[in-house]
Amino acid sequence: MSFRNLGLAWLALAAVSSIGFAQPRVPVREITQIEGDLYRARNGGWYTVFLVTPAGIILGDPINESFSPWLKGELDTRFPGKPVRYVVYSHSHFDHAAGGAVFADTATFVAHENMLRNMDGRYPQMPGDMIDRNDNGVIDREEIDIPTNARPGLCGMGPGFFDTIDRNSDGVATPQELQQHIVRPSIVYNDRMRIELGGKIVELVHPGLNHSNDATVMVFPGERAAFATEFIADAFVTDNSRSLPSACGPFDGSPLAEWIKSYRTVEDLDFDILVTGHGSALSDKAVVRDTRQFFEDLRAEVAAGMAAGQSLEQLKESVRLEKYSGWANYERLRAYNVEAAYRNLLTYR
Ligand SMILES: [Zn+2]
């Protein structure tokens, strides 16, 4: 859920405060095989996938403009004569979607149709409770600072982030400044789409609204794998995929029912290996089911408390979600999840 594309920022701050060490200044970069011709590429805490076919490569997120040239160099060396033919965006947030320009001479850029809307000059759907509080259509300093200061290391961005996107230093960041390094998709789809290249297939599925409103899940039928990011494992996931969500604002502006629907959509897909955009370990469908059940339990318990007339402060004490006490970030994020669910249910009732 974070945007750490410039030096040490968000995840690094989280690491300092929660784990006690800082991220290295140059992120760890590596490529690992998932299954057959499907690989995972890593930039620190961020991951993407690519499928090698005889006719070229289908790549997921380019991640950012410092990582993508490294990745292109690795692909050119390891798979000569197989250029990147498709870039498929997991969602439009620039900590995953930036950096595609190095592939632009050979690749077609594909995304869910809402990504074009998020890049049409209006304030885009943003994570981390960075909402357009004054509704003026640009990103003001306080729209970053309010969530950053309210929950340091959890929501908003790292210190100094606003100045890195306000490139002309006029005190406001336009959506175009925010998205400067993102190549716009040239093909968009609505519900599902299939890409065939070199005899291989990738199915694209829009799961619904969740962490973003323009998510795509990539399914690789031949490898029995799926790639999905952020709504299943957000930036706080290091190794254990069973982790409480960071729960900023009212859950990133999507109704809880839509989050739950998103998980069910993924559960219904035919795959065995779940590849996430955060978290070092490969995962499986059970994680999706368990995360869906967490959201269902959270919604049910908070709704019951609200129906019984409990205040937010009472709910934060009474809703314990003990079943999830062994999950990562339980102690740190339980009360925030209760608050996010409470605000979500008030907003979308
Ligand atoms: Zn995101």
Question: Looking at the predicted structure, is the pLDDT value of residue 12 above 70?
Answer: no
Residue 234 CA, ligand 1 centroid: distance in Å: 8
Sign, CA torsion 160/119/231/127:
positive
| Rounded-to-integer distance, Cα 295 and Cα 65, Å | 34
The whole-model pTM stands at 0.91
The alpha carbon of 323 and the centre of ligand 1 are apart by a number of angstroms equal to: 27
Distance 93 CA to ligand 1 centre (A): 5
Strand (E) positions, 230-293? 273-276, 283-284
pLDDT at 253: 86
Average pLDDT of the residues in 247-268: 95
Distance 182 CA to ligand 1 centre (A): 13
pLDDT tens for 296-317 read 999 999 999 999 999 999 999 9
How far is Cα 188 from Cα 46, in angstroms, rounded to an integer? Answer: 24
Q: How far is the CA of 32 from the centre of ligand 1 (A)?
A: 23
Helix, strand or coil, per DSSP, at residue 39 = strand
Dist. CA 299 → ligand 1 center (Å) = 22
Cα 305 to ligand 1 centroid, rounded to whole Å: 30
Residue reference for tokens 């794998």: 225
- How many Å lie between the centroid of ligand 1 and the Cα of residue 295? 18
Compute, in angstroms, the gap from residue 155 CA to the centroid of ligand 1.
12
- In terms of Cα–Cα distance, which of 264, 253, 233, 217 is closest to 343? 253
**For residues 204 and 49, what is the distance between their CA atoms, to the nearest angstrom?**
14
Instruction: Let me know: does 265 contact 207? Beta carbons within 8 Å.
Output: yes
pLDDT for res 21: 40
Distance 229 CA to ligand 1 centre (A): 8
Instruction: Decide if 198 contacts 56 (C-beta within 8 A).
Output: yes
pLDDT, tens digit (0-9, with 9 covering 90-100), for 79-130? 999 999 999 999 999 999 999 999 999 999 999 999 999 999 999 999 899 9
Residue 159 C-alpha to ligand 1 middle, in angstroms? Answer: 18
Helix, strand or coil, per DSSP, at residue 316: helix
Residue 54 C-alpha to ligand 1 middle, in angstroms? 31
Cα 346 to ligand 1 centre (Å): 24
DSSP assignment of 167-217? TT-SSEE-HHHHTTTBPPPSEEESSEEEEEETTEEEEEE---SSSSSS--E
* Dist. CA 211 → ligand 1 center (Å): 6
Ligand 1: centre distance to CA 178 (Å): 13
Cα 235 to middle of ligand 1, angstroms: 9
Residues 254-272 have a mean pLDDT of 97
Task: Please tell me the distance between residue 20's alpha carbon and the centre of ligand 1 in angstroms.
Answer: 24
Amino acid letter, residue 270: D
Could you tell me the distance, in angstroms and rounded to a whole number, from the CA of residue 41 to the centre of ligand 1?
A: 17
CA of 332 to the centre of ligand 1 (A): 21
Q: Tell me: pLDDT of 286 over 70.
A: yes
Ligand 1 mean position, distance from CA 1 (Å): 5
- Ligand 1 centre to CA of 311 (Å) is 31
Helix axes 256-267, 285-307, angle to 10 degrees: 160
Give 80's contacts (C-beta < 8 A, 6+ positions apart): none
**Per residue in 31-73, pLDDT tens?**
999 999 999 999 999 999 999 999 999 999 999 999 999 999 9
